[in-house]
Structure 1
Amino acid sequence: MIENHQMEVNHHAPDVVMWRKNETEYCRQFFTAETWQRIRIHGGLKEWSEVVWFQLGVPRFAFITWLAIRNRLSTGERTGAWGQPQGCLFCGEPNETRDHLFFACPYTYTLWLEVVGTLLGRPPDPDWESTLELLTTHSYGRLEYLLVRLVFQTAIYIIWRERNDRKHLKKPKLPSQLARIVDKTVRNRITSTGYATKPRLRGLMQVWFLAHT
């Protein structure tokens, strides 16, 4: 019974609201980050986490990449389970899967070949699992690793956007047109970092150009 666990009351101290900080500490300030860490379900760190979340990343690109890695994009394979099957809008493959879109489809593989250049350190593989394994296990230089993750996310985002544009009957683009959009997007992101004045990023644009010459 609650009556059996009476607390001592200090009638000379004012009442204050205290937020629980951890198992033993309370404080007067509320911290959203610490509260979230307390209430969320903690899972193990995924091998691919650095491919999705990194300093140079673009949040909306990272989110779509995260959905792709988790296979949660509404591809034809997934919508087929809801009674809305759809083939690949790029090449006509009857079963539009995540692995097909990134980058087994001839259209998207052509784009991937052009935009990734030599950043992977080896010829690009159209297989999704092989590409993701390479990004998580291969040893890259610091600048190369920043760029290969950025172009990977940008390519996924642009491909997904083009796929949805086609689904809504917008004028389709050639792989070379999408490649120019990816290239411009990456270069704009590099420029926005002020890389020339930051020792850890100096040479970033040069590495990008060298990988595409």
Structure 2
Amino acid sequence: MRPLSDLVWGSPPADATWTWKSICKTKLMMKNAYTDGQWQPNVKPWYFNTVWNNWNVPKHAFITWLIMHNGMNTREKLHRFGCGSTDAGCICENAKETLPHLFFEYDYSKVVKSLIHDRCGACISMSGAMAGGYGNVGGKLKQQVFANILNACIYHIWAHRNSARVNGILLIPSLVAQKIREVVRQRIKFKCNAKMSRSDDVWLEKLGIRL
């Protein structure tokens, strides 16, 4: 008989069902976060501060969280599971629609991000933003705003990808960037208070935000 500890935390047998293997995988992930009946402090995934920043619009954060768990049904993923006749992208039909390609390699996405960058200087990159967060961008305000921008970009690119797939309608990148900037502007005005440094105030004015 296998020891109780193996049954609780060990790997499932090779002939276990997919469901049981998934449960065991989740238990192993939770082992370091939940010990002796208590949640352990400071056990956070590497993307936590960028995704679950309370300045983010909740639905934007949720979409980014799904992406971090590969939970979005791209054409490449659906085609791999036998759904759909092609794995080519809805926006760019010349390559497989994977998550990295959709958000950071498509020419359409690159133009949207470039327009955002030109306005506020936020470098929208998965490798930089997600791996290291925005810890070196000059103050807490900018960290929060840049995380907000990243999540808004991801959400709106995904939303307009869906519009192209379902309705055959795709806004030009400048209009998408305009929508993103307006959402970010409204969110910042909602979250900011009147107490901030002069440099932050000047920076927000460059974004077109006056408090």
C-alpha RMSD of matched pairs (Å): 3.0
**Any conservation in 2 of the 1:196–1:203 contact (CA below 8 Å)?**
no
* Larger helix share, 1 or 2: 2
Aligned length: 169
Partner in structure 1 of residue 105 of structure 2: 104
Measured in 2, the distance between the counterparts of 1:64 and 1:168 equals 18
Measured in 1, the distance between the counterparts of 2:92 and 2:201 equals 33
Deviation at 1:119, TM superposition (A): 3.6
Measured in 1, the distance between the counterparts of 2:170 and 2:155 equals 16
Partner in structure 1 of residue 96 of structure 2: 95
- 1:77/1:42 Cα in 2 relative to 1: closer, same or farther (>3 Å)? farther
1:210 aligned to 174, 185, 206, which one? Answer: 206
Deviation at 1:68, TM superposition (A): 1.3
Partner in structure 2 of residue 77 of structure 1: 76
Which protein has the larger Cα radius of gyration, Structure 1 or Structure 2? 1
**Any conservation in 2 of the 1:190–1:205 contact (CA below 8 Å)?**
no
Question: Post-superposition, which runs of at least 4 consecutive aligned residues in structure 1 deviate over 3 A?
Answer: 38-44, 116-120, 136-140, 200-206
1:41-88 CA-partner distances (Å, limit 9, x unpaired) = 999411210001112111100000111122211112211222124322
User: Partner amino acid for 1:75?
Assistant: T
User: Partner amino acid for 1:105?
Assistant: Y
1:1-213 equivalences in 2 (<5 Å): 44-83=43-82, 84=84, 85-117=86-118, 118-120=120-122, 124=123, 128-135=126-133, 138=136, 140-193=138-191, 195-197=192-194, 199-200=195-196, 206-210=202-206
- 1:185/1:44 Cα in 2 relative to 1: closer, same or farther (>3 Å)? same
User: Partner amino acid for 1:108?
Assistant: S
SS at match of 2:89: coil
User: Partner amino acid for 1:167?
Assistant: R
Instruction: Extract unaligned runs of 5+ from structure 1.
Output: 1-37
